Amino acid sequence: MSGPGQSTVGPVLSDAEYRSLCEWVYLQTGMVFDDRRRDVVENRLGARMQQHSGLSVQQYLRRLAVDEREAREFLDLLTVNETYFFRDLPQMTVFRQVLEEMVAERRQVPFGRLRVWSAGCSIGCEPYTLAMCIQEELDRQRVPLEWHVLGTDISPSSLEVAESALYSDREVRDVPPDLLKKYFRRRDTWWEFSHPCKNRVQFRYSNLLRPGREVQGAFDIVFCRNVLIYFDDASRRQVAETLFDLMVPGGYLFLGASESMSRISRAFQLRRVGSGFVYIRP
C-alpha cells in the first residue's frame, strides 16, 4: 500500500468531479473531505488510477460505483493510519482505573467476562495496548476472567498489518520497557506482539456507519478515538447511536482528547475518573 505520504501527482479534477467523488466517499464512510484536502484526494486518486491506465477520471469514478473491491482499495488510501502503542498516556491511565474497577466487580461474578471494542483500530496498536493492560490487571488481581478485544477498521491494508502484529521502533516507542520485554520479541528490524494474549484479539473489516454482523454487542468498553473528527454531525449522530446500541448498560466509551459527545448525542453521561473523563452508557 502507498502510505499517507503518497507523493504521486494525481489528476486535476474539475469542481464537479471533485464534489461527485467527495459525495461518494461520504455516502460510503461518513467522512467529509472539503477543499482543504483536495490535493490529498487527487494524489491518492492518482495512485489508484496508475493501476488502471487508460481509464479517464469519469470512467474510474463510474468504476468505483460498481466495483466493491476497487472501492475498498481507494478508500484504503484515504484512511489515516498514523498510530502507536499507548497513545495518549493520560487517557490510558483513566482506562487502567476503569479496568481495575470492572475487574474487581467481576471477581464476584461466576463465569465473568469482559468485551472491549477498538473502533477504527488502524494497524492494531490500540487493541494490543488494551490487551496488555487487561492482561496485566487480571494477573495483578488474579482473576480468571474470560475476555476478548475486537478491532475494526475500514482499511484492509491496516488490518493486514494488525494481523501480522509486526511494528516499527517508532510505533513501540512508548511501550514501557518491562512490557516490551514481556509482550514482544524482536524479528529482524521489527517488534512482534507475541504474547499468548494475542489470541484474545480479533480483527474485522467494518464500517462504523454500517457495522453489520462483523460487530456483535454487547461491549463493556469501547474505544472510538480520533475517528469522529472526520465525520459531519449527521454521521457522528449515527455512529453515536450505533455505539450506544452495541454497549452494555454501564459500559464505558473513550473518545479522542479533542472529541466530545456534548453536541452529538445526549445518550451518554460524562464521568470523571481520576484526572480524566470518560463517557458512560446509562
Q: What are the grid coordinates assigned to 106, written together?
A: 467481576
159 and 193: one domain?
yes
Residue 103 domain-assigned (yes or no): yes
161 and 190: one domain?
yes
23 and 126: one domain?
no
CB 233 within 8 A of CB 264: yes
pLDDT in tens, 120-175: 999 999 999 999 999 999 999 998 899 999 999 999 999 999 999 999 999 999 99
**Helix, strand, or coil here: 206?**
coil
The DSSP annotation for 9-70 comes to ------HHHHHHHHHHHHHHH-B---GGGHHHHHHHHHHHHGGGTT--HHHHHHHHHH-HHH
H-state helical runs in 165-229? 177-183
CB 215 within 8 A of CB 117: yes
Residue 10 domain-assigned (yes or no): no
Residue 241 domain-assigned (yes or no): yes
42 and 129: one domain?
no
Range of the structural domain that residue 49 is part of:
15-77
Q: Which of these three, 77, 98, 117, is where a domain ends?
A: 77
Residue 174 domain-assigned (yes or no): yes
- Taking the C-alpha atoms of residue 84 and residue 169, their distance in angstroms, rounded to an integer, is 10
How confident is the model at residue 1, as a pLDDT? 36
Nearest to 90 by CA among 260, 256, 253, 269: 256
How confident is the model at residue 162, as a pLDDT? 97
Residue 272 domain-assigned (yes or no): yes
242 and 115: one domain?
yes
| CATH number of the CATH domain containing 273 | 3.40.50.150
CB 63 within 8 A of CB 52: yes
231 and 155: one domain?
yes
Torsion of CA 85, 243, 227, 180, to 10 degrees: 0
Nearest to 220 by CA among 166, 157, 148: 148
Q: How many domains does the chain have?
A: 2
pTM confidence score: 0.85
CB 254 within 8 A of CB 241: no
Q: Which of these three, 26, 53, 77, is where a domain ends?
A: 77
How confident is the model at residue 3, as a pLDDT? 40
133 and 242: one domain?
yes
Residues of the chain with confidence (pLDDT) below 70: 1-10, 79-81
Nearest to 228 by CA among 273, 196, 203, 263: 263
59 and 166: one domain?
no
- Taking the C-alpha atoms of residue 147 and residue 112, their distance in angstroms, rounded to an integer, is 9
70 and 103: one domain?
no
How far lies 281's CA from each of 7, 84, 143, 167, 277, in Å?
43, 27, 25, 34, 13
| CATH number of the CATH domain containing 59 | 1.10.155.10
pLDDT in tens, 39-58: 888 888 888 888 877 788 88
Residue with C-alpha cell 482505573? 97
Residue 166 domain-assigned (yes or no): yes
How confident is the model at residue 80, as a pLDDT? 62
Q: Count Cβ atoms within 10 A of the Cβ of residue 79 and give its class: 0-12 exposed, 13-18 middle, 19 or more buried.
A: buried
How confident is the model at residue 10, as a pLDDT? 57
CB 226 within 8 A of CB 208: no
148 and 216: one domain?
yes
114 and 246: one domain?
yes
